[in-house]
Amino acid sequence: MKNPDIILVRYDELALKSKRVRAMYEAVLVKNLKSMLHADGSSYTEITREMGRIFIHSDDPKALESAVKVFGIVSASPAYTCEATLDSTSRLCAEVSTGVIREGQSFAIRARRAGNHDFTSRDAAIACGDAVYLANKDLHVDLDNPEVEIFVEIRQKKGYVFMGSVKGVGGLPLGTQGKMVALISGGIDSPVAAWLMMKRGCEIIPLYLNNEPFSDETTRERAMQCIDVLQKWSPQKKFTIYEAPHGENLLAFLSNCNNRLNCVMCRRMMYRIASEVLKMEEAHGIITGSSLGQVASQTSQNMLAENFCMEYPIYHPLIGLDKLEITDIARKIGTFEQSTKPATCCLAVPEYPSTAAKVWEVAEAEKQIDVPSLVESMVMNMKKFTR
C-alpha cells in the first residue's frame, strides 16, 4: 500500500482560546509549520485547517518528523483519506488492516465523528470493525487490550484512517507570547531554560556574557553551539544574538569587594546588561537557568539579593527542577552534547561563595564600584550579530 497522503496535526491549549485569539494562534502555528518543513527539506503540497485540526497534505515520511518539532503541536498522525461515508471509510480500514494485522491477532477500532452525519461514532466503529474482520483471517476483537488499534476519524468533508500518533512538543506557537532576553552560558541549564520559554511561545534574544580573561574561547564556542541548536527549533526567524564583555566587572569585584559575594554581584550585573538589551529589543523579560538550591548562587537568600531592585521581570523556568530532570530535557532537545564539551570554568568563582547573602551587604559592596560606568562600558562594547 502507498504511503499515507496526509498528516493530521493536533493542538491542545489553542482550543481553549477565544475564537479571535484561536484563529490568530492557528495562523502563527501554520506559518511556523511551513518554516520547519522548509528547513528540514520535507515536501508538502498545502496546509489546511478545520476546527481543532491542521492538515499537512504530504506523503513524505519526513514531514511527520518536522511537524512534531513545532511548538504548539501535541501530536500528529500520518493518515489515509477517503470520502466521509461509512462505506468508503470501512473499505479503507479493511485495505489498511491487511498490511498490519497478522493472522490470529486481536484488534480494536477507535472511531470518532465530527460534523453532521446520519451515523454515530459507534456506527462507524461497528462498520469498520466488520470490514476489517472480513478482510483478514482468524481475528478477534479486544476493546480493552488489543494487539492492533486502527483509528478512524470522520469529519464533515473527509474520512481519515491511521494507526496511531507521534507525540509533539506541545506548548504554544512560537512568537505568540512576545520576546525575552535569554542568558546563555553554554552550560546544561541555560539552554534548557530558553527552550522551555520558547515552548511557551516566547521568541528569545540570546545574550552571552563573555568572562574573558576569567574564561576563554572554549567557553564562548560552547555557548554559541548551544544557541545554534536552539535556532533549529526556530527556523522561521534568525536569532539576534548579543555578546557583552563581563571580565571588567569581575575584575572590579575581585579588586574592591568581599569576594564571597562575587557570584551574587556577577548575576546582578548580568541582569543589568540584560535589561539594556531588553529595552533595545522591546522585550518583556529576562530568562535565567537558575534551579533553586543547585549551586551557591541559587539559594533562596541569594536569589532575593540578586533580584532586589531590578526593574524588569526575571523568569526562572527551571526553578523547581532537579539536575536529572534538566539533563533529560537537554538530551531531548539536543543541547546536552554541546553543553558538556570541555571548556574553561569561570576563574572568578570564590572558593567559598556566600550562600546567604543579605540585600544590605550586597548594596554596600556595590557602593565600592562604579556600577553605572561598568554598565555603560558593557553597552558601548557589546556585539550584536546573527549566525
Which of 134, 167, 200 terminates a domain? The answer is 167
Q: What string of DSSP letters covers 238-260? A: ---EEEEE-HHHHHHHHHHS-GG
216 and 153 both lie in a single domain: no
State the amino acid at position 133 in one-letter form. Answer: Y
48 and 140 both lie in a single domain: yes
Cα–Cα dist 243/328, whole Å:
28
From residue 292, alpha-carbon distances to 104, 198, 340, 377 in Å are 54, 21, 21, 31
In this structure, what C-alpha cell is assigned to residue 75? Answer: 501530536
Instruction: Evaluate the omega torsion of the peptide bond into residue 4 and state whether it is cis, within 30 degrees of 0.
Output: no
Is 173 among the domain residues? no
The distance between the two most distant Cα atoms of the chain, rounded to a whole number of Å, is 86
218: containing domain: 179-385
SS3 call for 205: strand
152 and 199 both lie in a single domain: no
262 and 283 both lie in a single domain: yes
134 and 192 both lie in a single domain: no
Helices 300-307 and 262-281, axial angle in degrees (round to 10): 50
Which of 110, 138, 167 terminates a domain? The answer is 167
Cα–Cα dist 199/182, whole Å:
13
Instruction: Look at residues 334, 35, 312, 343 and name the one whose alpha carbon lies nearest to residue 194.
Output: 334
CATH of the domain at 39: 3.30.2130.30
45 and 90 both lie in a single domain: yes
Radius of gyration of the chain (CA): 27
Q: Any alpha helices (H) in 282-355, and if so which ranges?
A: 300-307, 323-333, 336-339
State the amino acid at position 384 in one-letter form. Answer: K
Is 1 among the domain residues? no
183 and 259 both lie in a single domain: yes
Is 15 among the domain residues? yes
Is 258 among the domain residues? yes
125 and 272 both lie in a single domain: no
Would the CA dihedral through 12, 17, 20, 25 be positive or negative?
Answer: negative
Which of 132, 167, 202 terminates a domain? The answer is 167
211 and 298 both lie in a single domain: yes
140 and 202 both lie in a single domain: no
What does pLDDT average to in each consecutive run of 10 residues of the chain (387 residues)?
Answer: 92 88 94 97 95 93 96 97 96 94 94 93 96 93 96 95 96 97 96 98 98 93 97 96 96 90 94 97 97 89 93 96 97 97 86 91 94 96 97
> How many structural domains does the chain have?
2
CATH of the domain at 340: 3.40.50.620
Is 365 among the domain residues? yes
Is 205 among the domain residues? yes
At residue 51, the pLDDT reads 83
In this structure, what C-alpha cell is assigned to residue 50? Answer: 478545520
